[in-house]
Amino acid sequence: MLDIKIIRENPQEVARKLGRRNQKYDLSEILQWDMERRKVVAELDALRERRNKISQEVGKLKREKLQVLPQLQKELDSNKSGINERELFVNSIEQRIEDALLRIPNMPDENIADGKSPQDNREVKRFGTVPQFSFKPKQHTEIGEKLGILDFETAAKLSGSRFALLKGDGCVLERALINFMLDVHRSRGYSEVMPPYLVSAQSMCGTGQLPKFEEELFKCSEDNLYLIPTAEVPITNMHRGDILEEKDLPKKYVAYTPCFRREAGSYGKDTKGLIRNHQFNKVEIVKFSKPADSMAELELLLNDAEEVLRLLEIPYRVVELCAGDLGFSSAKTYDIEVWMPSENNWREISSCSNFMDFQARRMDIKLRYNDKKKDFVHTLNGSGVAVGRAFAAILENFQTQDGSVIIPKVLIPYTKFEKIEFKEKNLFK
């Protein structure tokens, strides 16, 4: 959430920065409400001050057993009515201002490029060599089905489209990836947590999913709880309302969770496979940082996510998102994209973002410096990485001509096998 004080003091500059997202933001209504609120708050303060003086006079008269003047009592009653009326107004208009602020995105960092779409994103670096095959590479869906480790038909029978059912060695590979990723991040100083998969509306609001993106969420209406779209939500909300000490920062957490998304805006895109499912597994890394350090911490977080793919030896590239392609809460984001041979294209597997104080303001997460001064912390997170997409990338990049898949060396201690071999008995009948 943006600071109303910043909007009040320089609305044109805030509008300019928000305009880099290729949308116009009219802040005049919020500024009008803010002006009305401050005017009534000033009246309220004056009424309260007068009430206190009258109360002192009345109290003194009563202690001295003197008659309370009727005009004093009348003014006290009128004062009380005026205070109640203005308190109701202030509460109402503050709620209106907050609701409006919750729907305004973060301001892009000044150092990222302008742009309108993913085509305007800037490639930062690449790792690995794109594999060359002596045969036409197959899609991960075809590979997985022929190996008997992916079953989309049964998943659709159980739950509908955009779900996957894993079998046999596919389950082992998925668990291996999860445990491997957790071990990598634990070795890099992240504390592992296992959070709830259902959270409150307040938690969703804290990280920016609500109120703007409710259509993307799965909701349990009877309990007013939401299935998490990412572990970012429960992990970041762990410190909602907290004051973190400077000496304890940065705080670093990692969690594996299933994630649930409606994918409401992606009809017709990636309807089959592991790329865009309603339910998928992900390992998430989250940081709480001092404001002065957060951009440096973003680079470190990006490197930690990259390490997973370096060790897996999956070719990838890193792109810095332009202002027009940023997510709602982010000020700066790097996407990591893995190579998918069947598409001859790159596919996102992780987004690493610095939200600066945007989420911390919504959740009231503060930092107390050693000199006792307070400020809002900066929050950061990234996928470390999306497990299903890593699974798909392994099937495609490590496929062989006979339909088998070689297991990346670093995963063999977890899988206890070196290859998932194609056999006729694996075929679904």
- Catalytic positions, written as ranges: 261, 276, 348, 351, 389
By three-state DSSP, how is residue 263 classified? coil
Question: Which of 249, 361, 262, 345 is closest to 296 using CA atoms?
Answer: 249
Query: Cα 367 vs. chain centroid, distance in angstroms?
Result: 20
Dihedral sign for Cα atoms in the order 121, 124, 126, 127 = negative
Can you tell me the distance from the alpha carbon of 234 to that of 289, in angstroms, rounded to the nearest whole number? 17
The DSSP element (H or E) to which 8 belongs, if any, is helix 4-9
Q: Give the chain's count of helices (H) and strands (E).
A: 13, 16
Structure tokens at 142: 């075809």
Contact 326, 117 (CB under 8 A): no
Report in angstroms the alpha-carbon separations of 112 from 21, 163, 173, 332, 363. 12, 36, 37, 7, 26
Report in angstroms the alpha-carbon separations of 279 from 125, 161, 227. 30, 11, 10
By three-state DSSP, how is residue 140 classified? helix
Contact 396, 372 (CB under 8 A): no
Can you tell me the distance from the alpha carbon of 407 to that of 41, in angstroms, rounded to the nearest whole number? 66
Residue 131 preceded by cis peptide, ω within 30: no
Can you tell me the distance from the alpha carbon of 412 to that of 215, in angstroms, rounded to the nearest whole number? 40
Q: Residue 43 burial by CB count (10 A; 0-12/13-18/19+): exposed, middle or buried? A: middle
Query: Cα 122 vs. chain centroid, distance in angstroms?
Result: 22
Can you tell me the distance from the alpha carbon of 4 to that of 35, in angstroms, rounded to the nearest whole number? 11
